[in-house]
Chain A
Amino acid sequence: AQKVTQAQTEISVVEKEDVTLDCVYETRDTTYYLFWYKQPPSGELVFLIRRNSFDEQNEISGRYSWNFQKSTSSFNFTITASQVVDSAVYFCALSEPSGSARQLTFGSGTQLTVLP
């Protein structure tokens, strides 16, 4: 069965520091999709990125970057020069073809607090 582990429950950094959020997943499938979502204090889930299992290129979007390493089953998320507005819970999620509607399996989330 699929599983997503976010070992870091809480991280606290000072503004402008870089921070990396770890995500490790388990799956028996060779085709799957990985996602990151942000949940700010207001509670909604905001989509950040989708990556398919065949695309191991790292991606950068502004201050955000993602490092997908299939060999270690990891999909880590780095925020460069963190800002107070980055404070949120960040969820990593996995979607597999074994679920016909490919529902998401979420990790337990990492609470990021960026201090001014």
Chain B
Amino acid sequence: EPEVTQTPSHQVTQMGQEVILHCVPISNHLYFYWYRQILGQKVEFLVSFYNNEISEKSEIFDDQFSVERPDGSNFTLKIRSTKLEDSAMYFCASRGEVNTEAFFGQGTRLTVV
């Protein structure tokens, strides 16, 4: 069964460092998303990406965040200068069509120290 793949599963980084989280969505999907979940809290929407551009973003997704789909298969989330409060589980998701269910990757746990 096709699945969304995220790497790494766990990333530890020092405050102020740049970090890139990687995702390979399901191959024929068109809509891509990043969500985050601070430990013990709800899952929050960060950004959606469609047709090679950002379609929606939340207030959390400020200038420190960016997304790219560099080669037609990978979908990356970059945090330019990490802060302690960026520590969270980051989930990538993809959808084939806009009204179908989103399939989530297993998440990347980001720890900023």
B: interface residue count bin:
20 to 34
In the complex, the answer to whether A47 meets B43 with C-beta atoms within 8 Å is no
In whole angstroms, how far apart are the Cα atoms of A104 and B35 in the complex? 9
B56 contact set on A, CB distance < 8 A: 99-101, 103
In the complex, the answer to whether A44 meets B107 with C-beta atoms within 8 Å is yes
What sequence of 0s and 1s flags, for each residue 74-113 of chain B, a beta carbon within 8 Å of any chain A beta carbon? 0000000000000001010101001111111111010000
How would you classify the secondary structure of chain B's contact residues: helix, strand, loop or mixed?
strand
Query: Which of the candidate stretches A18-26, A58-66, A106-114 sits at the interface with the other chain?
Result: A106-114
Q: Which residues of B contact A (CB under 8 A)?
A: 31, 33, 35, 41-45, 48-50, 55-56, 89, 91, 93, 95, 98-107, 109
Give which listed residue, A43, A100, A107, contacts B106 with CB less than 8 A.
A43
Q: Separation in Å of the A54 CB from the closest CB of chain B?
A: 12
Question: Count the A-B residue pairs with Cβ separation under 8 angstroms: how many?
Answer: 65
In whole angstroms, how far apart are the Cα atoms of A2 and B99 in the complex? 17
In whole angstroms, how far apart are the Cα atoms of A64 and B43 in the complex? 23
In the complex, the answer to whether A106 meets B43 with C-beta atoms within 8 Å is yes
B42 contact set on A, CB distance < 8 A: 91, 106-109
| Interface size of A in residues (CB-CB distance below 8 Å) | 25
A104 contact set on B, CB distance < 8 A: 33, 35, 43, 45, 102
Q: Separation in Å of the A105 CB from the closest CB of chain B?
A: 7
Given A103-B48, A108-B42, 10 more pairs with CB closer than 8 A: A37-B104, A44-B105, A45-B43, A45-B93, A91-B42, A95-B99, A101-B33, A101-B55, A104-B33, A106-B44
